[in-house]
Amino acid sequence: MSEQPTTRTSTNTAGWPLGLAGVALVIIGSFLSWSFDASILGDLSINLYPGSLQILAIILAVLALILLLAEKGPLQSRLGQWLDATLGLRALGIMLTVYMVLVLIAISVESDGLINVNPGGYVSLVGALLILVSSRLLPLRQLHDLSRARLPGWFEILAIALMMAAVLFGAAYALGLTDAWSFVLCLVFIAGVIAALFRTGTMSWFGHVAQRHKKVLTLAAFVVAFFFPFTQGGSDANMSIATQVLIFAATAMGLNIVVGLAGLLDLGYIAFLGSGAYVAAMLSESAFATIDWHPPFPVVVLIGACVAATLGLIIGSPTLRVSGDYLAIVTLGFGEIFRLAMFNLDGINGPLLTNGPNGIPGIPELQIGNFNFGDEHTVAGLELGRFSNYYFLLLILIGFVILVFARLNDSRIGRGWVAIREDEKAAEAMGVNVFGLKLLAFAIGAFLAGLAGTIKAHQDVAVSPDQYIFLESAFLLAAIVLGGMGTIAGVLLGATILKLLPEKLRFFSEYRLLLFGLLLVLMMRFRPEGLVASRRRQLEFHEEDEELAVAIESELVEEAK
């Protein structure tokens, strides 16, 4: 395939030595003390012994140095014709400057004033500003299209392995941060690296590599997920967050069938998760369980999922004749009806099934055969607690959900759902069974949510109506919109962000919803198709972008070959 070079214009070349000076100042400043107070931000008060946040600044500076050498230096002949070094340097300069400004703000807030900022912090800030200025002075040159670069297969597989390893250690490090300011600065660092990868074209190339080695990428992702508990040092707090993320992601994946593929706006989806959880609770051996029958857990899973699917059919049959805003209102009402029904099935206002507002507490730990999920286990000298046990079970569940979604998406049924989402009338005119496929989407989505609910009940050891409010449905929908409707990786990423950030940013408890809303507004403005968008969604939101249409068409032709 022919390369499509990008036209660049030349400007002032004095930015290169200025950038080198900026890199040197950032590194020198990071080896100096940033803070007078040793008790904040992981102790940044020691000269010649960088703390973890100072090491992150050094890493950003080293990445900037690599881009500078690719622009004009020993790496120019190897990387300069492919990497969009100037644009990548601009992204790094912006994020490094933001990073250093936030460091100074954090030190000022945590230790009562800028007077506690030591000279090293200001030196690194000046260095970041110099890198930013130099990126604006460097010339923009004509480059080859990096996404078309083909390297040996072993190198591409190695790139996938390194990327997955970086994800594993990055997630382990971020979750290990208990200080809110340190976590925010870590997010800025990650955002800076990702922005640089996108701006240089590296992520575009990696996307093509991932398409060529889908099985390797999938296997690497599950290997990383499997080894994640072994990086947490037996921390129940972090593994509790991880299990909640997996439950949230599995549920969001089911909703992704309804919203992302079929285009049906469901605002009461949390009810299907709740129905599975209540079935597991009522059939458990809890002292407060209301049904005197305790089948094995695999049977409970199937019953809970089938009950949720039945509710999906019940709500779908009379309401799927409507669409758009009317469907959203009906599903919103169903979510509230479910919650209120759980309040009233208390033996007074209705049959004794849910114990009303008290819910069903004291749900025992899962036990499959002789394996009790509440027991601690030692593997390779590392302690794995109860949350790690549930994590591995949920990992199997999320693998099953992803398999179902992927198979449906590539099937005739999936194409029918997409046709309905694009134009329901046109799909019906072409012979698509619109009502039947809508009903099937509701039933399958509810079935998958019910599966997750049966595990959630045991992991939480209690269920109550207050766990299944409208806000939870809104968060599930937001995860799909944020990550990218109709995609697997996007939903997983969106669910992780929306479940992880509230847990780690409790320092901003009064402003968490404000930050959440601001994030969605920015997404709708700058990337409405989501963080990981499908090609179809990209074209829907950027119809005027002819270059994007040509690029996607060429990708499809390449994959067809």
Read out DSSP for 84-97?
-HHHHHHHHHHHHH
The encoded tokens of residue 193 equal: 């690296």
* Residues 511 and 365 placed together within one structural domain of the fold: yes
How far apart are the C-alpha atoms of 260 and 487, rounded to whole Å?
8
Amino acid present at 301? V
Q: Identify the domain containing residue 349 by its residue range.
A: 233-517
H or E segment and range at residue 8? none
Q: Are residues 251 and 155 in the same domain?
A: no
> 561 and 423 in one domain?
no
254 in the same domain as 194: no
What pLDDT shows up at residue 147?
Answer: 62
Neighbours of 382 (CB within 10 A): 14
Residue finishing a domain among 228, 246, 263: 228
Amino acid making up residue 486: G
Residues 222 and 258 in one domain: no
Which residue, 457, 448, 454, is CA-closest to 309?
448
| Domain annotation covers residue 29 | yes
- Residue 59 backbone dihedrals phi, psi, to 5 degrees: -60, -45
Asked if 484 and 555 sit in the same domain, the reply is: no
Q: Determine, yes or no, domain membership for 257.
A: yes
The whole-angstrom separation of Cα 518 and Cα 516 is 5
In a domain, 1, yes or no: no
Other Cβ atoms within 10 Å of 275 Cβ, number: 26
- Residue from 92, 98, 81 nearest 6 by CA: 81
Q: Are residues 476 and 544 in the same domain?
A: no
In this structure, is residue 5 part of a structural domain? no
Query: What residues in the chain have per-residue pLDDT under 50?
Result: 1-11, 560
Q: Are 128 and 28 in contact (CB under 8 A)?
A: no
Closest CA to 252 of 465, 497, 549, 510: 497
Same domain, 125 and 261: no
Cβ partners under 8 Å of residue 95, min gap 6: 60, 188, 189, 191, 192, 195, 196
4 is a domain residue: no
- Closest by CA position to 231, among listed 165, 163, 162, 161: 165
For the record, the structure tokens of 434 come out as 């619109």
User: Structure pTM?
Assistant: 0.84
Q: Are 180 and 310 found together in one domain?
A: no
We report the CATH number of the domain holding residue 465 as: 1.10.3470
**Where among 184, 200, 228 does a domain terminate?**
228
Domain boundary among the residues 194, 228, 262 is at 228
Q: Which pLDDT score, from 0 to 100, does residue 458 have?
A: 92
DSSP at 269:
T
Same domain, 170 and 267: no
State how many domains the chain has.
Answer: 3
Distance CA 359, CA 331 (A): 23
Give a yes or no: residue 9 inside a domain.
no
Phi, psi (deg, nearest 5) at residue 528 = -65, -20
**Considering only CA atoms, which of 163, 439, 200 is closest in space to residue 320?**
439
Length of the chain: 561
522 inside domain = no
Q: Are 445 and 293 in contact (CB under 8 A)?
A: no
Phi, psi of 346 (to 5 degrees): -115, 10
Residue 199's alpha-carbon distances to 61, 73, 91, 131, in angstroms, are 16, 20, 7, 16
Task: Give the pLDDT confidence score for residue 553 in this predicted structure.
Answer: 53
Residue owning tokens 């990786």: 489
Do 126 and 259 belong together in one domain?
no
**Surface-to-core class of residue 266, CB atoms within 10 Å of its CB (0-12 exposed, 13-18 middle, 19+ buried):** buried
8, part of any domain: no
pLDDT of residue 430: 86
Instruction: Tell me 346's DSSP state.
Output: B
The CA distance from 130 to 558, in Å, is 42
Instruction: State which H helix or E strand residue 162 sits in.
Output: helix 153-176
**One domain, residues 221 and 343:** no
